[in-house]
């Protein structure tokens, strides 16, 4: 592994606990458990010295989008971790956002843990600890690729994309590339089940030779090497990052990448949701701009922990809460909607229900919804999926390096993620939520979004005119930032003269304030008292009939 990646893990993984691998004795039923702490009091970390736990790029992303630091950004109190260790408990990771630790222990230890004064509650994440599995990987020194000193200075020609041309052109990604935007200077964190052979395939060699592979981590095995396990992540990555002219070119081939393994393909337990949370915190601390996650959760190996459709309300599942927290840091979170459209479940999976993510469904080459693509809405009435991209017979790279066809919103998601990354490069002053709104407004179904394809297929050419020509009926704005002044909603015509329900929520999903307008007008003054709101980020959810819109504002 190169020195750059090693340095990266030292600088930006302050939230990981380096306590070694599991030492469980045979016959002991040790399980992964989540331990929530009561507070972050007396922590040695300070918001005045953020470089101790966030990279300069992470801070720049927040500053650009006017997102203040909060106590959620602080690492957990090391004294609390030491307290757990003093009981002989193995600490695997700690989470800034959940203020919690992932430990491995027997059930007999729980009573001791719960008796600690700084422990708020506990939650079991799996039934038994998963055994270690070998990884199929090669070191960076083993690479045998042709020299690639730079990407082509001119935009790829149609033939350079190979059979992947249509899936990029459908969104206008090829036109974006012609305009000079292919993700340069942007960083995408890919959360998946493994990335075997990424460090050997020629199509990814530019990532290493141009130092665009900025970090890797395997949260399942607790090691830096992520170039193993399930090949799903390799295929997902290829739709964005591949650069092999004549064979395949991805939608953000000039971007930088973080590869983070969170999924154990052999099992399905809540621990994988926590792995997702930890990886999202990793991505935040490293300064990622975009997260792509082709993972979804509804049913687990332990039936009692499975979710119901009613749980998909954006605020209940562990992974959806984590996804909204990731979005609160200014990262644009792109997730696959799910592949249950033709199955009894039928609906999207978590975290596609999160209100601050871009959930992506799948269509075929003609733009017709793929039968397997999951339907919305979310349980709380949000339009889901948000948008769609090619996911039926999409072209991807296998671990052997062959260009093959594959099906799933797993591939529609990253094709879209690469597109929006390149589009964001072209619109650097926009926030993550403004980019999501821009994609919705430029969708082929924007005039009548539904539960099958959401706002439809967004196209680059429409994004150039979407905002200036956006009808008043699509607009809703809120005072931002808020200090001591009144909070005002500015509403477009579609909101006028009809009932509108307003909720203000904190970033945990807790409703702090509710106000109903029987006949909304152009401007509505909320009766919420700004002085009663703590400094931080808040959500304002508007509901009118089946229409749900979530706005964000910062209290200074």
For the domain that residue 382 is a member of, what is the CATH number?
Answer: 3.40.50.200
Instruction: Give the model's confidence band at 159: pLDDT under 50 very low, under 70 low, under 90 confident, else very high.
Output: very high
Catalytic residue status for 95: no
Per-residue pLDDT of 269-281, as tens digits, reads: 889 999 999 999 9
Q: Which residue has the tokens 């477009």?
A: 492
Return mean pLDDT, the chain: 86
In a domain? residue 139 = no
In a domain? residue 169 = yes
Instruction: Give the model's confidence band at 523: pLDDT under 50 very low, under 70 low, under 90 confident, else very high.
Output: confident
Per-residue pLDDT at 27: 35
In a domain? residue 117 = yes
Domain end (from 63, 96, 124): 124
Which residue range is the domain that position 519 belongs to? 472-555
Query: Residue 433 pLDDT more than 80?
Result: yes
What percent of the chain is predicted at pLDDT more than 90? 67
Q: Work out how many domains the chain is built from and give that number.
A: 3
User: DSSP E strands: which ranges in 253-383?
Assistant: 256-261, 290-293, 332-336, 358-363
Per-residue pLDDT at 496: 77
Set 73, 160, 192, 355: catalytic member: 192
Per-residue pLDDT at 29: 65
Whether residue 261 sits in one domain with residue 355: yes
Show the CA angle centred on residue 130, arms to residues 124 and 133, nearest 5°.
155
Whether residue 499 sits in one domain with residue 454: no
Q: How far is CA 280 from the centre of its chain?
A: 7
In a domain? residue 149 = no
CA distance 504 to 541: 6
Whether residue 490 sits in one domain with residue 415: no
Set 95, 294, 349, 410: catalytic member: 410
In a domain? residue 529 = yes
Q: How far is CA 417 from the centre of its chain?
A: 10
Per-residue pLDDT of 46-101, as tens digits, reads: 999 999 999 999 999 999 999 999 999 999 999 999 999 999 999 999 999 999 99
Question: First vs last Cα of the chain: how many Å apart?
Answer: 43
Instruction: Give the model's confidence band at 308: pLDDT under 50 very low, under 70 low, under 90 confident, else very high.
Output: very high
Written in H, E and C, the secondary structure of 182-227 is CCCCCEEEEEECECCCCCCCHHHHHHHHCCCEEEEEECCCCECCCC
Per-residue pLDDT at 538: 83
In a domain? residue 271 = yes
In a domain? residue 298 = yes
Backbone φ and ψ of 73, nearest 5°: -75, -20
Domain end (from 466, 499, 530): 466
Whether residue 306 sits in one domain with residue 167: yes
Whether residue 386 sits in one domain with residue 494: no
Query: Residue 517 pLDDT more than 80?
Result: yes
Catalytic residue status for 232: yes
Whether residue 440 sits in one domain with residue 348: yes
Per-residue pLDDT at 553: 79
Mean pLDDT, rounded, for 489-510:
80
CB 438 within 8 A of CB 463: yes
Who contacts 120 (Cβ-Cβ below 8 Å, separation ≥6)?
A: 36, 37, 38
In a domain? residue 200 = yes
Per-residue pLDDT of 382-431, as tens digits, reads: 999 999 999 999 999 999 999 999 999 999 999 999 999 999 999 999 99
* pTM of the entire predicted model: 0.81
Whether residue 303 sits in one domain with residue 444: yes
Per-residue pLDDT at 539: 82
Per-residue pLDDT at 126: 80
| Cβ neighbours, 10 Å, residue 450 | 15
Mean pLDDT, rounded, for 29-33:
83
Whether residue 478 sits in one domain with residue 456: no
Burial 476-511 (b: 16+ CB within 10 A, else e): bebbbebeeeebebebeebbeeeebebbbbebebee
Domain end (from 65, 99, 124): 124
CB 199 within 8 A of CB 227: yes
Whether residue 480 sits in one domain with residue 446: no
What the block records as the tokens of 13 is 């993984």
Instruction: Give the model's confidence band at 30: pLDDT under 50 very low, under 70 low, under 90 confident, else very high.
Output: confident
Query: Residue 267 pLDDT more than 90?
Result: no
Per-residue pLDDT at 520: 76
CATH of the domain at 514: 2.60.40.3080
Query: Residue 142 pLDDT more than 70?
Result: no
CB 252 within 8 A of CB 427: no
| Cβ neighbours, 10 Å, residue 381 | 16
Whether residue 527 sits in one domain with residue 452: no
Whether residue 354 sits in one domain with residue 418: yes
What the block records as the tokens of 395 is 């072209």
Set 177, 206, 232, 269: catalytic member: 232
Whether residue 441 sits in one domain with residue 513: no
Query: Residue 136 pLDDT more than 60?
Result: no
Query: Residue 6 pLDDT more than 60?
Result: no
Mean pLDDT, rounded, for 511-520:
85
Per-residue pLDDT at 464: 77
Catalytic residue status for 506: no
CA distance 106 to 113: 11
Per-residue pLDDT of 213-254, as tens digits, reads: 999 999 999 999 999 999 999 999 999 999 999 999 999 999
74-78, 135-139, 195-199, 325-329: segment of lowest average pLDDT: 135-139
CA distance 507 to 416: 26
């Amino acid at each position: 592994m190169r020195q750059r990646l090693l340095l990266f893990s030292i600088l930006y993984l302050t939230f990981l606990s380096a306590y070694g691998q599991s030492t469980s004795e045979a016959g002991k039923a040790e399980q992964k458990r989540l331990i929530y702490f009561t507070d972050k009091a007396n922590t040695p970390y300070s918001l005045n010295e953020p470089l101790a736990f966030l990279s300069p790029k992470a801070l720049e992303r927040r500053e650009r989008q006017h997102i203040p630091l909060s106590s959620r950004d602080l690492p957990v109190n090391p004294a609390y971790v030491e307290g757990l260790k003093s009981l002989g408990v193995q600490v695997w990771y700690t989470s800034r956002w959940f203020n919690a630790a992932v430990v491995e222990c027997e059930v007999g230890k729980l009573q001791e843990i719960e008796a600690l004064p700084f422990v708020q509650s506990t939650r079991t994440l799996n039934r038994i600890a998963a055994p270690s599995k070998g990884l199929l990987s090669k070191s960076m020194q083993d690479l045998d690729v042709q020299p690639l000193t730079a990407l082509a200075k001119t935009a790829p020609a149609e033939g350079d994309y190979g059979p992947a041309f249509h899936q990029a052109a459908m969104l206008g990604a090829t036109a974006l590339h012609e305009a000079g935007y292919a993700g340069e200077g942007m960083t995408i964190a890919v959360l998946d089940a493994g990335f075997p052979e990424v460090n050997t395939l020629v199509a990814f060699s530019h990532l290493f030779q141009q130092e665009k592979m900025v970090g890797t981590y395997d949260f399942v095995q607790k090691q830096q090497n992520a170039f193993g396990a399930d090949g799903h992540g390799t295929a997902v990555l290829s739709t964005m990052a591949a650069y092999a002219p004549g064979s395949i070119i991805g939608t953000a081939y000039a971007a930088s990448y973080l590869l983070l393994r969170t999924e154990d393909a052999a099992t399905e337990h809540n621990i994988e949701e926590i792995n997702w949370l930890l990886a999202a915190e990793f991505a935040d601390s490293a300064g990622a701009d975009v997260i792509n996650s082709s993972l979804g959760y509804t049913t687990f190996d332990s039936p009692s922990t499975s979710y119901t459709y009613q749980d998909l309300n954006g605020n209940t599942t562990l992974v959806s809460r984590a996804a909204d927290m990731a979005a609160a840091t200014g990262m644009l979170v792109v997730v696959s909607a799910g592949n249950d459209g033709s199955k009894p479940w039928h609906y999207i999976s978590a975290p596609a229900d999160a209100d601050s993510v871009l959930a992506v469904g799948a269509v075929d080459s003609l733009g017709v919804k793929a039968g397997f693509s999951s339907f919305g809405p979310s349980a709380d009435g949000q339009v889901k999926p948000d948008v769609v991209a090619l996911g039926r017979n999409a072209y991807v790279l296998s671990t052997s390096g062959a260009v093959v066809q594959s099906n799933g919103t797993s591939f529609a998601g990253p094709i879209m993620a690469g597109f929006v990354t390149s589009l964001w490069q072209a619109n650097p002053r926009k926030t993550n939520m403004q980019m999501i709104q821009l994609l919705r407004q430029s969708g082929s179904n924007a005039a009548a979004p539904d539960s099958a394809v959401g706002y439809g297929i967004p196209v680059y050419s429409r994004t150039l005119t979407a905002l200036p020509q956006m009808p008043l009926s699509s607009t809703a704005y809120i005072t931002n930032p808020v200090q001591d002044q009144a909070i005002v909603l500015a509403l477009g015509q579609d909101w006028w003269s009809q009932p509108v329900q307003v909720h203000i929520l904190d970033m945990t999903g807790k409703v702090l304030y509710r106000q109903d307008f029987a006949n909304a007008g152009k401007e509505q003054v909320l009766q919420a008292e700004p002085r009663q709101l703590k400094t931080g980020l808040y959500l304002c959810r508007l509901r009118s009939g089946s229409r749900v819109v979530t706005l964000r504002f910062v209290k200074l």
